[in-house]
Amino acid sequence: METRISQSRWLWLLIVLWGIWCVGSFESHMTSTFLLPYHYVSGGYRGTDWVVRGSLRDIFPMYGYAQTHRQMVHALAEGAEEISISVEEETNPVSLEELMLQENQVVLQPTPQPTVFQENTFSPREKQTNVDISTMENYEDLVAAFYTIDANTSVGSDRLNVYRLMEQDMTVDKNVKVPQILIFHTHSMEGYADSGEGEENTGIMGVGEKLADILRERYGYNVLHHEGRYDVDGRNDAYTNALPEIAGILEDNPSIEVVIDLHRDEMPEGKRLVMDVDGKPTARFMFFNGLSRTKKTGDIDYLYNKNLDKNLAFSFQMQLKAAEYYPGLTRKIYLKGYRYNMHLAPKYLLIELGAQNNTLEEAMNACEPLAHVLDMVLSGT
């Protein structure tokens, strides 16, 4: 009998303990489902809660609904916790030492540099084409290819012979200690479409200085740029006015071998002398020769030019190089009847660079290829 009582007591004790455990599980699940904040504070789930979980779904239908959406609530709570950590880090005060260190690190970082467009980005061209001079053995073919002859003058094959023009030596031995090239402007008042009133540096004289600078800095010539003004009172007497001064400069500087009288031309407004040279709008230019001869009078004795053949050879060799390296940049050589002071030197060029409707930029851009062509002829390359 006592054994049975003892077993019954043990059975009741187990029932009581099981009931206490159930109550605890019930409280835990009720708070985790309907009082989520309290549940997180109190320490979460126990591993054996599944015993009560099924019974609660049957007794309390809302419990099952809450269980279904509990994971979403947990995810939101975890996200809020992460945000709170980030905010805490941002609002946490940083020491002055740390701030200075961060600033120094930023300063020491290599920063991208802005693109700087160089004013002088010209690269002399390689030869673009070969001009076969044998195709110009015939006088008519030579004239058709390279010349425009003014209607008031004439010239024969005795002057325009391709082999005679090429046999003339136009080379110069560079000597930077003394002037070797003279640039001047018989018509110093000539300007371009955007030249400023009274601003000589925006007209042909500014272009002349640009050409002189390139010849000095890139090619190593000693260049004298004379800025005398001979057309202030009109163009008609400009060549007469210029003659004694230019002759005096050459007498005072016998080392000068090359003379360039730099002009700009006059064209109908609808015609613009411009082309693209390696991405730059560039004014076209023309070499000009005076023949001291008209159809009406024949040779003009008082305008005799002992250097005529060499003048013609110089412009031809310049034209040939330009055709091979910068096709289309030069117009045909223009031949006219008078002398234009070209008797002053064998290596004398009269150049018409652009026209009145070209921009100053286009004229300046033309100085680079012009200088390159001149250097090739003078150096014999």
CATH number of the domain encompassing residue 253: 3.40.630.40
Q: Are residues 75 and 148 in the same domain?
A: no
Q: Residue 316: which pLDDT band, with cuts at 50, 70 and 90?
A: very high
Q: Are residues 63 and 187 in the same domain?
A: no
Domain annotation covers residue 51: yes
Beta strands in the chain (DSSP E): 147-149, 181-184, 223-225, 258-265, 274-277, 280-283, 285-290, 293-294, 298-299, 333-336, 347-355
Q: Are residues 82 and 142 in the same domain?
A: no
Domain annotation covers residue 119: no
Q: Are residues 259 and 375 in the same domain?
A: yes
Contacts 24+ apart (CB under 8 A), 17-22: 22/51, 22/52
What is the domain range of residue 314?
134-379
Q: Are residues 73 and 147 in the same domain?
A: no
Q: What is the pLDDT of residue 121?
A: 83
Position 14 pLDDT exceeds 70: no
Under a CB-based contact definition with an 8 Å cutoff, are residues 175 and 222 in contact? yes
Q: Are residues 18 and 139 in the same domain?
A: no
Q: Are residues 229 and 352 in the same domain?
A: yes
Q: Are residues 268 and 375 in the same domain?
A: yes
Domain annotation covers residue 290: yes
Domain annotation covers residue 113: no
Q: Are residues 74 and 215 in the same domain?
A: no
pTM to 2 decimal places: 0.69
Predicted confidence (pLDDT) per residue in 187-203, tens digit: 999 999 999 988 989 99
Predicted confidence (pLDDT) per residue in 143-195, tens digit: 999 999 999 999 999 999 999 999 999 999 998 899 999 999 999 999 999 99
Q: Are residues 208 and 349 in the same domain?
A: yes
Count of structural domains within the chain: 2
> Mean pLDDT throughout 24-48?
44
Domain annotation covers residue 109: no
Under a CB-based contact definition with an 8 Å cutoff, are residues 258 and 311 in contact? no
> Mean pLDDT throughout 259-271?
96
Q: Residue 11: which pLDDT band, with cuts at 50, 70 and 90?
A: low
Tell the burial category of 307 from Cβ atoms under 10 Å away from its Cβ (0-12, 13-18, 19+): middle
Q: Are residues 6 and 155 in the same domain?
A: no
User: Is the four-CA dihedral 309, 311, 313, 319 of positive or negative sign?
Assistant: negative
Using the structure block, give the residue that is written with the tokens 């730059």.
280
